[in-house]
Amino acid sequence: MTIGCIGAGSWGTTLGVYLAERGHHLLLYVHDAEQKHLLQTTRENRLYLPGIPFPATLEVTGDVKSLASSEVLLIATPTQFIRNTISPLSEFDLSRSLIVNSSKGIERGTLMRVSEIIADVLNVSLTQIVSLSGPSHAEEVSRSDPAALVAGSSSLTSAEQVQNLFNSETLRIYSSDDIIGVELGGALKNVIALCAGIVDGAEFGDNTKAALITRGLAEITRLGVALGARTETFSGLSGLGDLIVTCTSRHSRNRYVGEQIGRGRKLQEIIDEMSMVAEGVTTTESAFELSRSTGVEMPIVEQVHQILFEGKETRQAITDLMTRSTKPENW
């Protein structure tokens, strides 16, 4: 198959190499001309995924429109840039393309999930779109460490097509027809991961982090169900699975940002020194707005929002969480 991949960060490159190694013709789109030249000449992504050579079937391009004839279109771009990045493809008929989203976020302002952004910009049916999510650090997938993901779509047929495309002896894919839950789990866990990093940076212990992960999952589930997702999805790979790995791993960008904040550094200073995007920062804004608009109580999200954007002290935020009115655990 001919597969177009929009996004040459660590995850886009990993998935592109993975598919090219399985015999597909992979067109990897890079928006930056200098980076495109480096990838073409060195045949590896030394900035985001050093040491992983490109297969012969992987072609680097700087023209996003060259991906329009792809049978499968894979999107691996940070959420806030997706709309502008894919808009040149809106002039093409993509009604026969299978579109796979691997980005995890909620668009600022519109509060759209990624599949909704894609459908809005490209004028395609939601049944053509599949979101691939779960615990999957690029560094580990690229070296063939066993991992499992879930392919979510409103069309189970489309989800199963992606399942068959990606499934292998090192990457096991499950299918789901709850794309709302799959996308919200993948997006909202980044907010909880920021808080997990704050816990680490402030030198609290394992008990604190375990409580945070558990109650964070409760908040994610409450909001997800209010927005049309199924409860059980959040107990799966795109919910609990992704939450665990993002809150605990040294590879997690969102956990890293939170850790630095917990040590007393300023958010903008941290972001300015990073080469990759921590989706949880903008997702915190979107999650906070969704909480208010739906009336779903999300105290952890509220406190992270106050720390990031209102200058609240970390320890005061923890104290405020701990001294709230008592609740039953199933709340």
Q: Residue 331 pLDDT > 90, yes or no? A: no
Provide the pLDDT for residue 36: 96
Residues 121, 19 within the same domain: yes
Q: Residue 146 pLDDT > 90, yes or no? A: yes
> In this structure, is residue 135 part of a structural domain?
yes
What CATH number does residue 81 fall under?
A: 3.40.50.720
Residues 265, 172 within the same domain: no
Average pLDDT, the chain: 96
For the chain, how long is the longest CA-to-CA vector?
60
Q: Specify the pairing of strand 98-101 against strand 72-75.
A: parallel
> In this structure, is residue 330 part of a structural domain?
no
What's the rounded mean pLDDT across residues 186-204? Answer: 96
Burial of 205 (0-12, 13-18, 19+ CB in 10 A): exposed
> In this structure, is residue 59 part of a structural domain?
yes
Q: Which of 142, 177, 212 is at the close of a domain?
A: 177
**Domains identified in the chain, total number:** 2
Provide the pLDDT for residue 277: 77
| Segment 219-236, tens digit of pLDDT | 999 999 999 999 999 999
Give the pLDDT band (50/70/90) at residue 253: very high
What CATH number does residue 271 fall under?
A: 1.10.1040.10
Residues 13, 136 within the same domain: yes
| Segment 11-60, tens digit of pLDDT | 999 999 999 999 999 999 999 999 999 999 999 999 999 999 999 999 99
Residues 28, 123 within the same domain: yes
Q: Residue 68 pLDDT > 90, yes or no? A: yes
Q: Is-catalytic flag, 65? A: no
> In this structure, is residue 37 part of a structural domain?
yes
| Segment 272-321, tens digit of pLDDT | 988 777 889 999 999 999 999 999 999 999 999 999 999 999 999 999 99
> In this structure, is residue 255 part of a structural domain?
yes
Residues 255, 285 within the same domain: yes
Domain coverage including residue 226:
182-322
Residues 154, 25 within the same domain: yes
Q: What is the pTM of this model?
A: 0.95
Residue 236 backbone dihedrals phi, psi, to 5 degrees? -100, -160
Residues 223, 108 within the same domain: no
Q: Which of 36, 104, 189, 209 is catalytic?
A: 189
Provide the pLDDT for residue 300: 98
Residues 290, 263 within the same domain: yes
> In this structure, is residue 328 part of a structural domain?
no
Residues 269, 306 within the same domain: yes
Provide the pLDDT for residue 19: 98
* 314, 259 Cβ separation under 8 angstroms: no
Percent of the chain with pLDDT over 70: 100
Q: Where are the alpha helices (DSSP H) in 135-252?
A: 138-141, 156-166, 179-201, 206-226, 242-248
Other CB atoms within 10 A of residue 331 CB: 9
Give the pLDDT band (50/70/90) at residue 92: very high
